[in-house]
Amino acid sequence: MSGMLDGKVVLVTGAAGGIGRASALLFAQEGAKVVAADVRAEGVDETVAIVKAEGGEATGAVADLTRSTDIDAMIAKAVETYGRLDGAFNNAGITGGQVGQGGKPTAEWDEEAFDRIIGVNLKGTWLCMRAEIRQFQAQGGVGAIVNTASLAGVTGFLTTSGYTASKHAVVGMTKTAALEYAPDIRFNALCPGYVNTDMLKDTMARRADKVLSRIPFGRLAEAKELAEMACWLLSERGSYATGQTFVVDGGYMAG
Ligand SMILES: NC(=O)c1ccc[n+]([C@@H]2O[C@H](COP(=O)([O-])OP(=O)(O)OC[C@H]3O[C@@H](n4cnc5c(N)ncnc54)[C@H](O)[C@@H]3O)[C@@H](O)[C@H]2O)c1
């Protein structure tokens, strides 16, 4: 049986855990050669080991996506290892809680924390896109990119000012690139609802009942359920999809 990503070389950022790890595993199961990248070296090694244990092909790249030199090295690793790059899932990200701003309304956000979240979620994604597009162009100009945004990329959420700003900007940047590089390179934004990953641990510990009561499915998404959409968008099956936001949220936004 052929896989959805047979023969493709696909980069996944934020691959040390959560949605990124589940995606690395699924993409490899669907036939991709995966470059699993993250700032957390141990998590990268674990992800590569998990993919290989399942019979897939992967290599790791340790990169801080706020540094363009790390990003260049990450792309170079993909090309040195597998000869080319066909797709990228720019998925790494951080929340307000991770920079000490959990529960703070807009006027209480700290400037340094705001810069940090924009630096990782927005500038990091742009730096990745820039390097990936250049690599696609160097090898013929064709490719597909999926950027992870969030429900916070399409609507507001209390006390998430910097996060929401970064994710709305990712959606806008994705649309612009889709116009610029059509039809050769496709760009889409994936907007997860609430997903059962480390990122959500604090939120669930503080207010699980409140979160679950807003989700028509009455449960969190599993990371693999997001990976499935990213896989489709990166594959030829998504060949006419570009410049869009794909919300996967158990019905949250229908309400
Ligand atoms: N979990 C959710 O409910 C949820 C909801 C909406 C959107 N998202 C988005 O999904 C994406 C993946 O998050 P997740 O839920 O899998 O959480 P996660 O914390 O498990 O994964 C995020 C990964 O990004 C990595 N990362 C952070 N800063 C980095 C940097 N500077 N350089 C390289 N890697 C870096 C982390 O090490 C981590 O492995 C994020 O962009 C997040 O904003 C998550």
The stretch 136-146 carries a mean pLDDT of: 98
Q: What three-state secondary structure class fits 97?
A: helix
Question: How far does CA 115 lie from the centroid of its chain?
Answer: 20
Q: Distance, CA 94 to ligand 1 centroid (Å)? A: 5
pLDDT score of 114: 98
Residue 56 CB contacts under 8 Å (≥ 6 apart), including other chains? 25, 28, 29, 34
The stretch 19-38 carries a mean pLDDT of: 98
Region for residue 21 given its phi and psi (left: phi exceeds 0; alpha: psi -120 to 50; beta: otherwise): alpha
pLDDT, tens only, 162-190? 999 999 999 999 999 999 999 999 999 99
The stretch 7-24 carries a mean pLDDT of: 98
pLDDT, tens only, 63-76? 999 999 999 999 99
Q: Is 250 in the pocket of ligand 1 (CB under 6 A)?
A: no
Residue 214 CB contacts under 8 Å (≥ 6 apart), including other chains? 252, 255
Q: Is 120 in the pocket of ligand 1 (CB under 6 A)?
A: yes
pLDDT at 1 over 80: no
pLDDT score of 202: 87
As a CATH number, domain 9-246 is 3.40.50.720
Mean pLDDT score across all residues of the chain: 97
Closest CA to 118 of 155, 170, 156: 170
Residue type for 125, please?
A: T
Q: Identify the DSSP state of 158.
A: T
CA distance 92 to 39: 9
The stretch 83-112 carries a mean pLDDT of: 97
Q: Identify the DSSP state of 64.
A: -
pLDDT score of 167: 98
Q: Of the residues 47, 74, 146, 197, which should be mutated to test ligand 1's pocket, given the most ligand atoms within 8 Å of the CB?
A: 197
The stretch 142-155 carries a mean pLDDT of: 98
Residue 124 CB contacts under 8 Å (≥ 6 apart), including other chains? 65, 66, 90, 92
**What residues are labeled active site?**
163
pLDDT score of 21: 98
Q: Measured from the CA of 64, which atom of ligand 1 is nearest?
A: 32
pLDDT score of 241: 98
